[in-house]
Amino acid sequence: MNDMPKIEQATDMTDSKISANKVQVYYGDTHAIKDVDIEIQPRSVTAFIGPSGCGKSTFLRTINRMNDTLDICRVKGSIQIDGEDIYDPKVDPVQLRAKVGMVFQKPNPFPKSIYDNVAYGPRIHGLARNRAELDDIVASSLQKAGLWEEAKDRLDEPGTGMSGGQQQRLCIARAIAVSPEVILMDEPCSALDPIATAKVEELIDELRENYTIVIVTHSMQQAARVSQRTAFFHLGILVEEGPTQDIFTNPVDKRTQDYITGRFG
């Protein structure tokens, strides 16, 4: 019974989308991530949970090298996407980020029109040859993000004028528009009310068909609802990782158990 997941994990190892090996992250002298090994499956949702300050965001940001924008941050170890080491000097972080999109905790639409927000990525990457193609990309991204109905009549209005939930879905649409393979989401619902949260969760569930999604969340219920696998971090260490079902019903580690039963964190 207990062996089942392990075998499953082993078979999945070969075709995992992202595989991290002995990852260390330092902020100056602070050792924020210690020896993290993890395999992330393609076309599934992986949730990172753990108490505040345990390094979830830090680890998430290593996957698209967003930490490069911080001067004091150093990353060691290897992270491979599709078998390619993303910290290889040959890899251009800018291109990597087109492949690995990111959605942030607080909705951060640019102070531009809704259309321009979504068209931003395709424009800088030259994904559309003409205006018609760009229109198509914008429309389909908004549709995938479930925002088309609400936005189609106000594409010229500023994105910052939408509601928080709409803004967050706009940010998801913006990320989708560059056709990434992986989407990283750092607490995407923490600034949203329950109804907007439900919409975003629904959306994540739909996106799973085409994208590999990693989501950081503080809500155990959310992790249980949207993710197939869950990783529990504690003090910069990956304590436990496995199918969501197992983590929540049958955690192996004492710390995981304490956390999900609300005894700390």
Ligand X SMILES: Nc1ncnc2c1ncn2[C@@H]1O[C@H](COP(=O)(O)OP(=O)(O)OP(=O)(O)O)[C@@H](O)[C@H]1O
Where on the chain is the footprint of another protein (CB under 8 A)? 64, 66, 69, 71, 94-99, 101-104, 106, 108-112, 120-121, 124-125, 171, 174-175, 178
SS3 172: helix
Compute the least distance from the CB of residue 25 to another protein, in Å: 17
Q: Give CB contacts under 8 A, 24+ apart, made by 131-134.
A: none
Q: Does 55 bind ligand X (CB under 6 A)?
A: yes
User: Would you give the binding string for Mg ion spanning residues 44-73, x where CB under 5 A is met?
Assistant: -------------x----------------
Q: Does 74 bind ligand X (CB under 6 A)?
A: no
Q: Does 53 bind ligand X (CB under 6 A)?
A: yes
| Minimum CB distance to ligand X smaller for 4 or for 72 | 72
The two structure tokens encoding residue 56: 């979830």
| Minimum CB distance to another protein smaller for 95 or for 249 | 95
DSSP codes of every residue in 204-240: HHHHTTT-EEEEE-S-HHHHHHH-SEEEEEETTEEEE
| Minimum CB distance to another protein smaller for 106 or for 263 | 106
Give which of Mg ion, another protein, ligand X, none residue 124 binds (C-beta under 5 to 8 Å, depending on kind): another protein
The two structure tokens encoding residue 10: 């082993």
Q: Does 52 bind ligand X (CB under 6 A)?
A: yes
- In contact, 25 and 55? CB cutoff 8 Å: yes
Q: Does 159 bind ligand X (CB under 6 A)?
A: no
**Residue selected from 16, 19, 58, 197 as contacting ligand X according to rule CB under 6 A:** 58
The DSSP secondary-structure symbol of 129 reads: S
Of residues 192, 186, 185, 232, the one with CA closest to residue 212 = 185
Handedness of CA 187, 190, 192, 194 (dihedral sign): positive
* Residues making contact with ligand X (CB under 6 A): 27, 30, 32, 50, 52-58, 70, 72
